[in-house]
Amino acid sequence: MASRWPGLSEPKIERRLAASIVIMNSMRELFLLDPDIVFFNHGSFGATPRPVFESYQRWQRELERNPVKFIGRTQNGLLKQARATLGEYLGTDGENLVFVTNASFGINVVVRSMKLGPEDEVLTTDHEYGAVNNNWNYLADKLGFKYIIYPMPLPMTTQEAFVEEFWRGVTPRTKVISISHITSPTALIFPVQEICRRARAAGIITLIDGAHAPGQIPLNLDEIGADFYVGNLHKWLCAPKGAGFLHARLESQQLLEPLVVHGWHKTPDHPQSFVDIQQGQGTRDSAAFLAVPDAIAFQKEHNWDQVRADCHALAAQAQHRICEEFDLEPFSPVNANPQWWSQMLSMPLPNVADPRDFSRVVLEDYKIEIPMGAWRGPMQARISIQAYNTQEEVDLFVDVVTKYAKTHIPTA
Amino acid sequence: MASRWPGLSEPKIERRLAASIVIMNSMRELFLLDPDIVFFNHGSFGATPRPVFESYQRWQRELERNPVKFIGRTQNGLLKQARATLGEYLGTDGENLVFVTNASFGINVVVRSMKLGPEDEVLTTDHEYGAVNNNWNYLADKLGFKYIIYPMPLPMTTQEAFVEEFWRGVTPRTKVISISHITSPTALIFPVQEICRRARAAGIITLIDGAHAPGQIPLNLDEIGADFYVGNLHKWLCAPKGAGFLHARLESQQLLEPLVVHGWHKTPDHPQSFVDIQQGQGTRDSAAFLAVPDAIAFQKEHNWDQVRADCHALAAQAQHRICEEFDLEPFSPVNANPQWWSQMLSMPLPNVADPRDFSRVVLEDYKIEIPMGAWRGPMQARISIQAYNTQEEVDLFVDVVTKYAKTHIPTA
C-alpha cells in the first residue's frame, strides 16, 4: 500500500489497518469478504453472512439430490413458508408477496402492467435509480404518457416540507406516483407513508422502490399502504444475490400482469392468485429465496437494532469530520427526527483537482470500495456502514480524503 | 422396497439393484443424485455433475469476496468469455447469444417483441410445451392475432412427410412459426432446419424452442438458421439450474425488445447491442451462466458422443421390450435415419385399470422417477437416459411395468 502524502505515514496506515483487523474480528469473520479490502459499499449489492450463504448452497445441493422431487413437488411449499416468514418480517401477509430476482424485476412487472395513455402522467423525483427511469421511459415511448421528474433540491429540511413540495408536482393527470423509499444516489429516506396516504385519497396508484430499505430500516408494508412495493433482500437484509420481492396490496393485485408468462394460463380451472401468476417462471435456482428466512434469523440473533444504530453513528461521524474540515453542508439535517438516512449516507466531498484520480487513489492505493462521483455538481461519496465495518476503517477513509484533498486543491 | 407381484420376487429386485449400484459407479458417482432413486427424468430439470456444480458454487463464493468488484467490474468480461465458449459449442458467434434463466424466459422475450395484429397468424403444432402456448395465448388475447395449433398425428413417418404436412398449416397470414426442436410431451426431434429454410424464403419469422436440445443432440445454430432459437443449458448440457440462452441471428436482433428493462436506456451515447439490451437485468447470481463452459468441458472430457449413443440404445431397448410384450406401436419408426429422438423417448405403455396407482407404485414403491401420463388417450412414459443410468435400472423399470400391467388389467 503506497502512501502518497507526507502527512499520513505508511506506518500510521499500517497500524490503523492492523488495529482494525483485530477489532473487526467479531463481525467481519462472519462475512466472506476479502480481508484485504475496506468495504464501504454494501449498498450496491450487499454482502452475505456465512451461515446464510451456507444455507443457500445447501439448498442447491439438496435440489441436486432429486431435481424432480425438489422443483416439482417440494419447492412451492418451501417458497410459501419463506414468503410467510418474510411477510411476518415486513408487516404483511406472505400471500401478498412474491419473490423476484431483484427490485428491478419487480419494478418491471408493475410498470408494464400500467394502462396509461397520452393524457396521463407518472410523477417521480430526480433522486431515482437509473433503471427505474429506464423502465418508465421505455413504456412512455410506447404509450405516450408523460414521465414527470420533479426536482427535489438539496439539502432536505423536514419530511413535511418534502411532502408539500413534492405534492406540487401532482396534477389532475397524475395517475401513478413512483418514488424510492431510500434513494440510490442520495441515500435519503423519503416519507413514503404520507405520500401513499395522500395518493390513495386522490386515487393515484403508488409504486415504491424499496431496493435499499429491507434490513436497513424497519418496515411495515401494510402500514405504508403502497399499491406496489418492491425491495431487494440481498442488499441490507444480507440474503444471497438474486433475492428481492414484489408486494401488492390485496386490492391492487388484479392490476398486475405477468412479466414472464409461465404459470399464467388462459382457461384456468380455478381463478389464479397473484402468487400463481407471478411466481412460476420456469426452472430456476430458488435457493436465494429459500435462504431469506435464514437472513432474517441472522439479523435477529445478532441484535440488529444495535448494529444499525452503531453503523449510523459511524457514518454520521465520518460525514461530520469531513464536513467540519472542509466547511461542507450535509444533504440533510443532522439529528433530524426521524432521520433522513440510516446505514447508508451520501455526503459531500471537498473539491479536488482531478476527481477521477481521487477515486482511483481511494480504490487502488487504499483498497477502499466506496462509490464516489458527481451527482449534481459537487463530488460526493455514498458510504455504507455494515456490521463488518469498524471505526478504524472510517478513520482511514477520513484521513485519506482529508490528506488527498488538502494536497490536490483545484487550480483556479 | 415392497414387492407387490408374485412373479417378481424381492430377492430378484434386490440383486438387480445391487448389481446396478456396482456397475453404475463410474458415472453415477460423478453426479449428486440420491443413490436411492432411479432417475429417468433428466428431461424435466437436468442433473449436474460434481465438477460443474463445484465450479458454480466457487463462482458464488468468489462473488462474495468483493461483490462490487465482481458484479461491477469483472462479471461482464466473464460473461462475454462464457458466451464465446458457448457460441463455439453451438455453432454461432457469442455476440448472437445472451444467457437467460431458462428457455421460457427467452420465449417470453421473443413473443412479447412480435408486432402482430388481428389479420395475423402464428403457426405451431400440438406437441408444444404448455408454457409456450401460454405465452402465445397471452399475447393473442392482447393483440387479436390467431394462434394456430396444427395437429401432427402419431406415429411419425419421415421428416420429409412431417415438413410437407406441417407446411399445409401455413397460410398467407402466417407471420411466425413457433415450434420445438425436441418436443416436451412426445420427445420427438422436429426437422427445424428445413422448416426454417422454407420460412425464411416465405418471409415468415421462426422461433425454435430448443429447451431439450443442447447437449442431447449436436447443434449448429447458424446452419439451422432460425430467427430466434432458445435453449436450456441446465437440462442436457448438465449446467447448473437457471442456465439457458436466447439466440438471435444478426439480421433479426433489432426485432427484439427488452423483457426486463434495465440496461436499455432511452438516449444512448452509443447504439446499444443485442447483448447490451438483453443481458443487464440488475443484480442476480450469474454463477450458473459462468459454469456453462465447465459443463461443455465435462461432456467433451467424458466422450459424450459415446454416452449419447449408449443412452439412446438403452432407451430403445426399454421401448422395444415393452412394445413387444404388449404389442404396442412406437410413436416414431425404429431405426429411422436420422433418428426421431436421442436420449429422451416417449413410449406407449400398456393399459392398466388405474393409471394413477400405476404411477404411484413406480414412484413410491420402486423409487423410479419417470413422467407417466396420458398425452393423447393412451398412457405413455417419457424415459430420459443419462450417463448415470444403467442397464439394471432399465431392467427394473421394464420388469415393474410388465408385472404391474399383467396383474392390473383394465376391467371391460
Q: Output the furthest CA–CA distance in chain A (Å, rounded).
A: 76
* Average per-residue pLDDT for chain B: 93
Give the domain range for residue A258: 52-298
Per-residue pLDDT at B268: 66
Task: Output the DSSP codes for A325-393.
Answer: HHT---SS-TT-SS-S-SSEEEEE----S-HHHHHHIIIIIT-EE--EEESSSSEEEEEE--TT--HHH
Question: Which residue in B37, B103, B241 is closest to A66 by CB distance?
Answer: B37
Answer yes or no: do A285 and B258 touch at CB < 8 A.
no
In a domain, B46, yes or no: no
Question: Which residue in B39, B68, B258 is closest to A44 by CB distance?
Answer: B68
Confidence of residue A268 (pLDDT cuts 50, 70, 90): low
pLDDT tens digits, one per residue of B353-390: 999 999 999 999 999 999 999 877 789 999 999 999 99
| Interface probe, candidates A55, A128, A261, chain B, greatest B C-beta count within 10 A | A261
CB-CB neighbors (< 8 A) of A103 in chain B = 282
Question: Which residue in B45, B65, B234 is closest to A68 by CB distance?
Answer: B45
Task: Indicate whether B331 and B294 sit together in one domain.
Answer: no
Answer yes or no: do B102 and A41 touch at CB < 8 A.
no
Per-residue pLDDT at A263: 86
What is the β-pairing status of strands A228-232 and B344-348?
Answer: unpaired
The CATH number covering residue B70 comes to 3.40.640.10
Per-residue pLDDT at B31: 97
Is it true that the peptide bond before B155 is cis, omega within 30 degrees of 0?
Answer: yes
Answer yes or no: do A282 and B240 touch at CB < 8 A.
no
DSSP SS3 for B299: helix
Chain B residue whose CA is closest to A67: B45
Question: Which residue in A72, A259, A369 is closest to B66 by CB distance?
Answer: A369
Identify the CA nearest to A64 among candidates B57, B37, B53.
Answer: B53
Confidence of residue B10 (pLDDT cuts 50, 70, 90): low
Identify the CA nearest to B294 among candidates B15, B59, B12.
Answer: B59
Per-residue pLDDT at A26: 59
Q: How far is C-alpha B180 from the chain's CA centre?
A: 9
Answer yes or no: do B138 and A47 touch at CB < 8 A.
no
Per-residue pLDDT at B26: 59
Per-residue pLDDT at A377: 77
Backbone angles phi, psi at B191, to 5 degrees: -80, 75
In angstroms, what separates the C-alpha of A43 from chain B's closest C-alpha? 10
CB A94 within 8 A of CB B97: no
Q: Over A231-276, what HEC string results?
A: EECCCCCCCCCCCEEEEECHHHHHHCCCCCCCCCCCCCCCCCCHHH
Backbone angles phi, psi at B375, to 5 degrees: -95, -55
Q: pTM for the complete prediction?
A: 0.93
Domain final residue pick, A298, A316, A343: A298
Cα(A36)–Cα(A38) distance, integer angstroms? 7
DSSP SS3 for B354: coil
Cell of B71: 458484479
Task: Output the DSSP codes for B151-179.
Answer: --PSSP--HHHHHHHHHTT--TTEEEEEE
In a domain, A138, yes or no: yes
* Average per-residue pLDDT for chain A: 93
| Interface probe, candidates A147, A233, A260, A384, chain B, greatest B C-beta count within 10 A | A260
In a domain, A44, yes or no: no
Cα(B40)–Cα(A108) distance, integer angstroms? 38
pLDDT tens digits, one per residue of B45-103: 999 999 999 999 999 999 999 999 999 999 999 999 999 999 999 999 999 999 999 99
Cα(B140)–Cα(B360) distance, integer angstroms? 38
Is it true that the peptide bond before B191 is cis, omega within 30 degrees of 0?
Answer: no
Task: Indicate whether A307 and A294 sit together in one domain.
Answer: no
In angstroms, what separates the C-alpha of B4 from chain A's closest C-alpha? 24
Per-residue pLDDT at B150: 98
CB-CB neighbors (< 8 A) of A131 in chain B = 261-263, 282
pLDDT tens digits, one per residue of A112-155: 999 999 999 999 999 999 999 999 999 999 999 999 999 999 99
Handedness of CA B171, B176, B181, B182 (dihedral sign): negative
Cα(B46)–Cα(B109) distance, integer angstroms? 23
In a domain, B37, yes or no: no
Q: How many CB atoms lie within 10 A of CB B219?
A: 20
In a domain, B5, yes or no: no
Task: Indicate whether A25 and A61 sit together in one domain.
Answer: no
Question: Which residue in A32, A130, A282 is closest to B61 by CB distance?
Answer: A32
In a domain, B43, yes or no: no
CB-CB neighbors (< 8 A) of B33 in chain A = 64-66
Backbone angles phi, psi at A341, to 5 degrees: -155, 165
Answer yes or no: do A282 and B69 touch at CB < 8 A.
no
DSSP SS3 for B124: strand
- β-partners of residue A291 are none
Answer yes or no: do A261 and B67 touch at CB < 8 A.
no
In angstroms, what separates the C-alpha of A360 from chain B's closest C-alpha? 14
Residue A260 has pLDDT above 50, yes or no: yes
Cα(B237)–Cα(A188) distance, integer angstroms? 46
pLDDT tens digits, one per residue of B135-170: 999 999 999 999 999 999 999 999 999 999 999 999
Task: Indicate whether A167 and A248 sit together in one domain.
Answer: yes
pLDDT tens digits, one per residue of A331-369: 999 989 899 999 999 999 999 999 999 999 999 999 999
Q: What is the mean pLDDT of residues B282-310?
A: 96
Domain final residue pick, A298, A314, A335: A298
Per-residue pLDDT at A23: 40
In angstroms, what separates the C-alpha of B255 from chain A's closest C-alpha? 15
Question: Which residue in B67, B135, B242 is closest to A47 by CB distance?
Answer: B67
Indicate the number of domains in chain B.
Answer: 2
Q: How many CB atoms lie within 10 A of CB B266?
A: 12
Residue A4 has pLDDT above 50, yes or no: no
Cα(B169)–Cα(B150) distance, integer angstroms? 6
Task: Indicate whether B343 and B262 sit together in one domain.
Answer: no
**Geometric angle at alpha carbon A229, from A228 and A231, rounded to 5°:** 150
Handedness of CA B257, B261, B263, B266 (dihedral sign): positive
Task: Indicate whether A76 and A112 sit together in one domain.
Answer: yes
Identify the CA nearest to B67 among candidates A400, A310, A298, A44.
Answer: A44
Task: Indicate whether B341 and B379 sit together in one domain.
Answer: yes
Task: Indicate whether B275 and B316 sit together in one domain.
Answer: no
Per-residue pLDDT at B411: 82
Task: Indicate whether A160 and A176 sit together in one domain.
Answer: yes
Residue A406 has pLDDT above 50, yes or no: yes
Task: Indicate whether A150 and A15 sit together in one domain.
Answer: no
Q: How far is C-alpha A412 from the chain's CA centre?
A: 38
Task: Indicate whether B128 and B241 sit together in one domain.
Answer: yes
Residue A7 has pLDDT above 50, yes or no: no
Answer yes or no: do A108 and B284 touch at CB < 8 A.
no
Q: What is the mean pLDDT of residues B220-232?
A: 98
**What angle in degrees, to the nearest 10, is found between the helix axes of B304-326 and B292-301?**
80
CB A378 within 8 A of CB A351: yes
**Cell 445454430 appears where?**
B221
ipTM: 0.93
| Interface probe, candidates B30, B36, B60, B147, chain A, greatest A C-beta count within 10 A | B60
In a domain, A42, yes or no: no
The CATH number covering residue B343 comes to 3.90.1150.170
Task: Indicate whether B22 and B85 sit together in one domain.
Answer: no
Chain A residue whose CA is closest to B263: A131
Chain A residue whose CA is closest to B138: A266
Task: Output the DSSP codes for B54-95.
Answer: HHHHHHHHHHHH-HIIIIIIIHHHHHHHHHHHHHHHHTS-GG
Question: Which residue in B34, B46, B69 is closest to A66 by CB distance?
Answer: B34
Domain final residue pick, A273, A298, A323: A298
| Interface probe, candidates A42, A138, A241, chain B, greatest B C-beta count within 10 A | A241
Cα(A180)–Cα(A208) distance, integer angstroms? 5
Backbone angles phi, psi at A125, to 5 degrees: -110, 180
Beta-carbon contacts below 8 Å between A and B: 185
In a domain, A285, yes or no: yes
Per-residue pLDDT at B412: 67
Per-residue pLDDT at B16: 44
Buried/exposed A350-361: b ≥16 CB within 10 Å, e otherwise: bebeebeebbeb
Instruction: List, as own/partner pairs, every contact residues A194-201 make where C-beta atoms lie below 8 angstroms and the sequence separation is at least 24, other chains included.
Output: A194/A159, A194/A163, A195/A163, A195/A166, A195/A167, A196/A224, A196/A225, A196/A226, A196/A227, A197/A225, A198/A163, A198/A167, A200/A225
- β-partners of residue B215 are none
Q: What is the mean pLDDT of residues A34-56?
A: 98
Chain B residue whose CA is closest to A243: B284
